[in-house]
Amino acid sequence: MSYDIKKILEKEEFSREDLIRLLSADEKERKLIYAKAAETKAEHVGKKVYYRGLIEFSNICGKNCYYCGIRRDNRNIRRYNLGDREILKAVEFAYNNRYASVVLQSGEIENKGFTDRIESLLKEIKRISNNELGITLSLGEQTGDVYQRWFDAGAHRYLLRIESSSPELYAKIHPDDNSHNFNRRLECLRTLKNIGYQTGTGIMVGLPYQTPEDIAGDILFMTDFEIDMVGLGPYIEHRDTPMFKPGNLLMPPAERFHLALKTIALLRIIMKDINIAAATALQAIDPMGREKALMVGANVIMPNITPGKYRDSYKLYENKPCTDEEAEDCSSCLEARIHMAGDEIGYGEWGDSKHFFRRNQK
């Protein structure tokens, strides 16, 4: 069996069938994939891991994705919205600790007040960091004008997971209405790329109804789209969401975990110079989850720098790690773990996607 995995891994390009076979690799076979991904990472992006200080500044969301714990209709959580002072304090922490970049993430809100607020926060982050901090946004679907304004105000990376590139699977995990439209999400990704953002996407791995064919399709989608960054992790159920019910369709967490690692490894092998984030959800299944992702191709980590008292309320899924810690605790614990994974931290460096620059030279 490993024989055909070896043969496939020697190819320059993988077909859809190859990807499906690789995704189904067993415990012994997957080690070959992981080894090849580690080799590719060392050769093309090196051993440096870049930090993005993650500020989950609000769990207020206008949408109702079936899988997400902060969806609009979940009444069992305390909603919060950090004040500008609190956000800028977290930004200062990132700057003083040489994280070099921050990520602003929240539920999805589309209105003028929100747009204006983010625009002025971006300018303020640039001002207080002497233009030194890089800024990634993860604020969902917006109009082209809004994306442009935020780009002009200083954001240069945007993360918008497609969640699934299969319109059929997308429709199963979202309500059927105008605000959960697959084509709009795709159009948003195109707009972000056209404006000039380093554009990131990703999926959840191990969703109910998801097949290896779907994940192979996602890998091909990300390759064809020439994505610059990827953030992907396992799907983890949350009891206060509609998708908790088909829980009997879920594969065991350890299998979801390795399927996510295989997907990361394959993306590294195929898209050699993109940035890949080791998602926090990996750590919810395995305490060393993010470090294991670094060992199979990931090169970005997003340490959570949201003030500790709010973290429990940004529960997208059960078992979310580090919700009882402050930014300082995460920082020292992470550094040791990254060294254990054999990598070093690119303190003070943006660590932008090399793929982005290569694609713009074409």
Map residues 52-81 to x or -, x wherever contact with ligand SAM holds by CB under 6 A.
Answer: ---------------xx-------------
**Residue pair 59/297 in contact by the 8 Å Cβ criterion:** no
3-state DSSP of 294-341? HHCCCCEECCECCCHHHHCCCCCCCCCCCCCCCHHHHHHHHHHHHHHC
Tell me the H-state helices in the chain.
Answer: 2-9, 16-23, 27-44, 84-96, 112-128, 144-152, 167-173, 182-195, 212-225, 253-270, 280-285, 289-295, 308-311, 327-340, 354-361
Q: Is 118 a residue that touches ligand SAM (CB under 6 A)?
A: no
140 is a site residue for ligand SAM (CB under 6 A):
yes
Residue from 105, 166, 263, 306 in contact with ligand SAM (CB under 6 A): 105
Residue 62 contacts by C-beta under 8 Å, 6 or more apart in sequence? 72, 107, 108, 109, 110, 179
Cβ-based neighbours of 315, under 8 Å, separated by 6 or more = 69, 70, 77, 238, 323
The CA dihedral of 111, 114, 119, 124, to the nearest 10 degrees, is 170
User: If contact means CB under 5 to 8 A according to the sort of partner, which of ligand SF4, ligand SAM, none does residue 19 touch?
Assistant: none
Distance CA 202, CA 162 (A): 6
Number of residues that bind ligand SF4 (CB under 6 A): 9
Q: Which one of residues 30, 161, 180, 290 is an interface residue with ligand SAM (CB under 6 A)?
A: 161
> Is residue 164 a contact residue for ligand SAM (CB under 6 A)?
no
What is the rounded distance in angstroms from the CA atom of residue 302 to the CA atom of residue 282? 12
Pick the stretch among 77-85, 101-109, 245-253, 257-265 that binds ligand SAM (CB under 6 A).
101-109
CA 204 to chain centre: 9
Per-residue binder mask for ligand SF4 (CB under 6 A), 44-73, x = binder: -----------------x-x-x--x-xx--
CB of 142 to ligand SF4, least distance (A): 12
> Does 278 contact ligand SAM by CB under 6 A?
no
Per-residue binding string, ligand SAM, 217-246, x by CB under 6 A, is ----------------x-xx-x--------
Shorter beta-carbon distance to ligand SF4: residue 71 or 256: 71
Q: Which of 107, 307, 321, 346 binds ligand SAM (CB under 6 A)?
A: 107
| Closer Cβ to ligand SF4, 29 or 108, answer by number | 108
Nearest CB to ligand SF4, comparing residues 4 and 73: 73
- Could you give the string, one character per residue 122-141, with x where binding to ligand SF4 holds by CB under 6 A and - elsewhere? ------------------x-
Token code pair at residue 315: 């529960």
Residues with Cβ < 8 Å from 25, sequence gap 6 or more?
A: 5, 32, 33, 262
List interacting residues with ligand SF4 (CB under 6 A). Answer: 61, 63, 65, 68, 70-71, 107-108, 140
The binding site for ligand SAM (CB under 6 A) comprises 67-68, 105, 107-108, 138, 140, 160-161, 163, 204, 233, 235-236, 238, 281, 316-317
